[in-house]
């Protein structure tokens, strides 16, 4: 049982905003999902430590959410507390060729700050709609670039609620996974090492990247980005195309006709619609091609 009054007192002490019985649909890019028992806007690494320690001591279920761009939330919601790493925890500092970001800073904002500082290396990541912390968690990437190409170190909260520092070479960064994936470790800041470049050339490259995204991806609809991980030896979108699944629907969810690697929300999709559609796609692709597709978004349970 969650004592909201006790939790609110802790939030007051830490200066964190808390919203009881908060709908999560506005906090994920798919724009659906039920409520959580409380949502807390985390404002610092130390606040995160205190809140997580409190949850563990009280045996309260909790989850961490950034911009919700690679997340599915069930229609029933999340029976626990969500720690939101967002605008209250989004500081970006530049020092020479390094850029240090709080985990809640948006990746797009970090890319812009790098460009303004004449630092190159993040251009291809511009447009990925997540936080810097979330991007490192899953080693996000696009157009041949990944977080592992630029990350130098990170700070995180370990399983014992201690803040630790880890270097890039120890992060086990691989395709859509890292040292943090599937664990209780919570990233609090990320430091990236970039190179000097011309601000105008960097800006031009970022604009080209966004133009490419806009022309090929269904950005006009809510989604979680690429719905399936890239299977070894092929591409999810290619396999889905080959199986004639573009435009396949289930309730308000649809395999995008613009880019079949995206399942989109036509405006009234539920989480159940999306999961049912994804299972249909996986089943047909497995039957017709032999490939086993795997969901890329994390399901917040």
Place of tokens 């563990």: 56
Residues in the chain: 301
The secondary element (H helix, E strand) that includes residue 209 is helix 199-216
Angle between helices 199-216 and 107-116 (to 10 degrees): 150
Q: How far apart are CA 231 and CA 182, in angstroms?
A: 20
Both tokens of 204, joined, read: 């031009």
User: Within 148-191, where are the H helices?
Assistant: none
From 25, 74, 226, 260, active-site residue = 226
Q: How far apart are CA 102 and CA 82, in angstroms?
A: 18
CA 248 to chain centre: 25
**Listed residue (106, 281, 127, 110) closest to 219, CA to CA:** 127
Catalytic site includes residue 226: yes
Both tokens of 277, joined, read: 């559609």
**Listed residue (134, 144, 166, 136) closest to 153, CA to CA:** 166
**Listed residue (284, 195, 192) closest to 240, CA to CA:** 284
From 184, 208, 276, 296, active-site residue = 296
Catalytic site includes residue 176: yes
Q: How far apart are CA 108 and CA 198, in angstroms?
A: 18
Distances (CA, A) of 205 to 151, 202, 208: 20, 5, 5
From 50, 67, 176, 256, active-site residue = 176
Q: How many CB atoms lie within 10 A of CB 233?
A: 6
Output DSSP code: residue 229: P
Both tokens of 250, joined, read: 């289930």
Catalytic residue numbers read 176, 226, 296
């Amino acid at each position: 049982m969650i004592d909201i009054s006790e939790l609110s007192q802790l939030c007051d002490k830490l200066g964190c905003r808390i919203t009881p019985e908060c709908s999560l649909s506005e906090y994920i890019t798919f724009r659906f999902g039920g409520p959580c028992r409380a949502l807390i806007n985390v404002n610092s690494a130390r606040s995160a430590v205190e809140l997580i320690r409190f949850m563990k001591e009280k045996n309260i279920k909790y989850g961490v959410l950034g911009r919700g761009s690679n997340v599915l939330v069930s229609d029933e919601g999340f029976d626990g507390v969500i720690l939101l790493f967002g605008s209250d925890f989004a500081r970006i500092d530049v020092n020479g060729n390094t850029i240090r970001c709080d985990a809640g800073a948006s990746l797009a904002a970090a890319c812009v700050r790098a460009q303004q500082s004449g630092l190159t290396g993040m251009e291809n990541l511009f447009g990925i709609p997540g936080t810097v912390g979330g991007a490192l968690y899953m080693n996000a990437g696009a157009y041949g670039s990944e977080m592992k190409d630029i990350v130098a170190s990170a700070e995180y909260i370990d399983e014992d609620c201690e803040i630790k520092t880890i270097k890039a070479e120890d992060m086990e960064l691989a395709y859509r996974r890292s040292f943090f994936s599937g664990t209780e470790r919570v990233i609090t800041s990320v430091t990236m090492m970039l190179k000097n470049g011309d601000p105008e050339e960097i800006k031009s490259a970022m604009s080209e990247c966004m133009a490419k995204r806009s022309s090929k991806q269904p950005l006009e609809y809510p989604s979680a980005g690429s719905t399936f991980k890239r299977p070894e030896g092929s591409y999810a979108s290619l396999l889905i195309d080959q199986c004639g699944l573009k435009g396949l629907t289930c309730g308000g969810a649809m395999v995008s006709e613009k880019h079949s690697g995206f399942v989109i929300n036509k405006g009234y999709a539920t989480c159940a619609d999306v999961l049912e559609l994804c299972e249909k796609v996986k089943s047909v692709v497995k039957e017709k091609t032999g490939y086993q597709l795997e969901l890329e978004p994390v399901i917040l349970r």
